[in-house]
């Protein structure tokens, strides 16, 4: 009896232990008894609620419409210096970036024997005056004076014959060479080619920048996904904190490379766009030179040379007539003829000095040489720009507007200016020059340039620096404003969306001023109304 009771007690105890273990497993949800319902687990993951749609409140505020312009720091006073007549460049004394003083010699044309001709003409003029005074003051030996006059008259005839021969040779050269219009057309073609190259470079640059940014973005995306995977591993205790930090550092470095790629892309694109603006300026100048030549008669340069030949013939005829008069004339006639000789010598001397002045380019004001064109021996066309001069003492910002922005900009509008070379500084400016129209061969062409005066700091900008301008073209106070992304457009319909309980509804709106971030609502919404922000 004792043994049997002990066995029964042990069996009951063992069964109780087995039951307790089964009950614990059952409560933990690790097993399911046959025929019973599945137990509820003790640890659950709650399903994430659907994210709420971002909203915005229709507010009443001020809105500012602005126009952005990418420009360059330029001088208020600039000048394009050129020779009036075509010829070969003898020497250019300055180079780009050089500071020059007012009156400084910048370049000169090869004038051949012009200096010796001026010296000869000066001697001829001085001699003619002396002779005239002698003839007026000394009437003693008329025959001697007459012989001297005849000798001088013969010399004048010989000089006039030489002048006629030279004028005829110049006329032949003009007829054989290219016309001024052809020379200007070649300049336009060269400027157009430069503009086309700049535009192609911009297209290539854009593709390269976009591809580089895309590669960096893909890299960031990969590292973000990789970091997320390793963060999960860390939370599960599969990797250490140091290993997780390495993945975080890799992600941070990738983001830094993406930011650098975007910054480099902006700078590269700005340079390519600036090159287009510079090429467009060159094309406009070349077209202006062509139009100036085309406005003249087609054979004006030939007629000029023919007129020189006609003048040389008249000079020869006059010299021969004077010689004949001196042979037959008396003392009074000799004095009158000598007076005419003095006048003609003075006119010839003045003409040669004018030619000498036209062959030299002198700085009309103190400034900085922006561009110096040509090399020794180059053939320069008439009116072809040789030196571009700018006065850096008074600066402004100049840039080209987009066609759609031209009618928005007016004189006196306020502007803010950020110069890349002056980081952290925002400058105030005012529009002082707006686009206009000018005539060209193809009709009226619109000039898209705008000029802005700037309140420069003491350590101001320098010529050629890149400037980013924001011009305030319109400001409205007390208007209804919503985020610009909230306004949607389908066809001609513009509307915003809002939630009506669990339903998404839309309201048609009339939109006024739109900026990068905000949009003015003229009608369709009320202040304080909650809408979907569209983000």
- How many other C-beta atoms can be found within 10 angstroms of the C-beta atom of residue 2? 6
Q: What is the pLDDT of residues 305-344, one digit of tens each?
A: 888 999 999 999 999 888 887 777 655 666 778 888 999 9
d(CA 135, CA 142) in angstroms, rounded, equals 9
Specify the pLDDT at position 331. Answer: 53
Partners of 100 in the β-ladder? 367
pTM above 0.85, yes or no: no
The topology (CATH level 3) of 180-294 is Helix Hairpins (1.10.287)
Instruction: Name residue, tokens 């001609």.
Output: 492
Specify the pLDDT at position 241. Answer: 93
Specify the pLDDT at position 41. Answer: 46
Token pair belonging to 320 = 């021969």
Contact 73, 467 (CB under 8 A): yes
Beta strands in 297-404 (DSSP E): 360-362, 367-372, 379-380, 385-390, 395-400
For residue 397, the SS3 value is strand
Token pair belonging to 260 = 């650098």
Specify the pLDDT at position 140. Answer: 55
d(CA 470, CA 65) in angstroms, rounded, equals 10
Q: What is the CATH number of domain 395-532?
A: 2.40.30.170
DSSP-derived pairing of the beta strands 99-100 and 437-440? unpaired
Specify the pLDDT at position 437. Answer: 67
Q: Where are the domains of the chain?
A: 1-44, 77-110+361-390, 114-179+298-358, 180-294, 395-532
DSSP label at 272? Answer: H
Specify the pLDDT at position 23. Answer: 40
Helix orientation angle between 331-358 and 142-176, rounded to the nearest 10 degrees: 30
The order of strands in the sheet holding 503-508 is 488-490, 493-500, 503-508
Specify the pLDDT at position 56. Answer: 92
Token pair belonging to 209 = 């920048």
Q: Which residues contact 420 (CB under 8 A, 6 or more apart)?
A: 267, 465, 466, 467, 468
Contact 174, 182 (CB under 8 A): no
Helix (H) or strand (E) segment spanning residue 104: none
d(CA 473, CA 413) in angstroms, rounded, equals 7
Q: What is the CA radius of gyration of the chain?
A: 45
Give how far Cα 517 sits from Cα of 57, 244, 392, 482, 520, Å.
14, 38, 38, 9, 11
Contact 110, 87 (CB under 8 A): yes
Question: Which residues in 250-270 are b (16+ Cβ under 10 Å) and which e?
Answer: ebeebeeebeebeeebeebbe
Give yes or no on whether 180-294 and 395-532 have one common fold.
no
Rounded mean pLDDT for each run of 10 residues along the chain, 535 residues in total: 38 42 39 43 47 85 93 89 88 90 90 85 91 72 71 92 91 83 89 94 94 95 94 93 94 94 94 94 91 80 86 92 76 74 91 83 90 87 90 89 90 92 89 76 69 86 89 93 94 93 92 92 94 82
Q: Which residues contact 206 (CB under 8 A, 6 or more apart)?
A: 269, 272
d(CA 448, CA 409) in angstroms, rounded, equals 11
Specify the pLDDT at position 444. Answer: 58
Among 102, 55, 108, 76, CA closest to 360: 108
Token pair belonging to 96 = 């780009």
Question: Using alpha carbons only, what angle is made at residue 37 by residues 34 and 38, rounded to the nearest 5 degrees?
Answer: 95
Element counts in the chain: helices (H) and strands (E): 7, 23
Q: What is the CATH number of domain 77-110+361-390?
A: 2.40.50.100
């Amino acid at each position: 009896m004792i043994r049997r009771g002990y066995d029964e007690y042990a069996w009951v105890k063992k069964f109780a232990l087995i039951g307790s273990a089964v009950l614990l497993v059952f409560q933990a949800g690790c097993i399911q008894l046959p025929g019973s319902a599945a137990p509820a687990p003790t640890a659950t993951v709650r399903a994430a609620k659907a994210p709420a749609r971002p909203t915005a409140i229709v507010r009443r505020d001020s809105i500012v419409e602005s126009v952005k312009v990418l420009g360059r720091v330029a001088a208020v006073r600039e000048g394009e210096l050129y020779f009036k007549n075509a010829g070969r460049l003898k020497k250019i004394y300055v180079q780009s970036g050089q500071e020059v003083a007012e009156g400084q010699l910048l370049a000169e044309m090869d004038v051949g024997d012009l200096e010796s001709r001026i010296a000869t003409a000066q001697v001829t003029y001085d001699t003619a005056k002396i002779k005239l005074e002698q003839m007026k003051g000394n009437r003693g030996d008329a025959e001697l004076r007459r012989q001297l006059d005849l000798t001088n008259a013969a010399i004048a005839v010989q000089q006039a014959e030489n002048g006629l021969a030279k004028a005829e040779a110049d006329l032949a050269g003009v007829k054989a060479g290219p016309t001024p219009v052809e020379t200007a057309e070649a300049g336009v073609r060269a400027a157009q080619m430069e503009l086309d190259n700049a535009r192609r470079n911009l297209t290539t640059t854009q593709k390269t920048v976009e591809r580089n940014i895309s590669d960096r973005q893909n890299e960031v995306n990969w590292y973000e996904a990789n970091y997320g995977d390793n963060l999960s591993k860390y939370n599960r205790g599969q990797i250490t904190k140091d290993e997780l930090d390495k993945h975080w550092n890799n992600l941070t470095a990738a983001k830094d490379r993406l930011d650098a790629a975007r910054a480099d892309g902006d700078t590269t694109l700005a340079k390519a766009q600036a090159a287009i603006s510079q090429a467009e300026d060159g094309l406009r100048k070349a077209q202006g030179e062509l139009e100036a030549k085309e406005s003249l008669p087609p054979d004006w340069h030939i007629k000029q040379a023919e007129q020189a030949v006609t003048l040389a013939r008249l000079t020869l005829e006059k010299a021969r007539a004077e010689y004949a008069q001196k042979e037959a004339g008396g003392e009074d006639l000799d004095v009158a003829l000598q007076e005419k000789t003095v006048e003609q010598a003075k006119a010839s001397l003045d003409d040669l000095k004018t030619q000498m002045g036209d062959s030299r380019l002198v700085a009309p004001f103190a400034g900085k040489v922006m561009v110096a064109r040509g090399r020794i021996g180059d053939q320069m066309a008439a009116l072809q720009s040789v030196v571009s001069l700018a006065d850096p003492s008074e600066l402004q910002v100049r840039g080209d507007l987009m066609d759609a922005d031209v009618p928005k900009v007016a004189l006196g509008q306020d502007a803010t200016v950020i110069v890349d070379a002056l980081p952290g500084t925002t400058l105030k400016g005012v529009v002082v020059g707006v686009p206009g129209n000018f005539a060209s061969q193809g009709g009226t062409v619109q000039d898209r340039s705008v000029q802005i005066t700037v309140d420069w700091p003491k350590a101001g900008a320098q010529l050629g620096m890149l400037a980013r301008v924001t011009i305030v073209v319109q400001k409205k106070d007390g208007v209804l404003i919503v985020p610009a992304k909230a306004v949607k457009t389908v066809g001609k319909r513009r509307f915003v969306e809002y939630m009506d309980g669990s339903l998404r509804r839309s309201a048609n709106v009339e939109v006024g001023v739109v900026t990068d971030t905000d949009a003015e609502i003229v009608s369709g919404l009320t202040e304080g109304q909650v809408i979907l922000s569209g983000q």
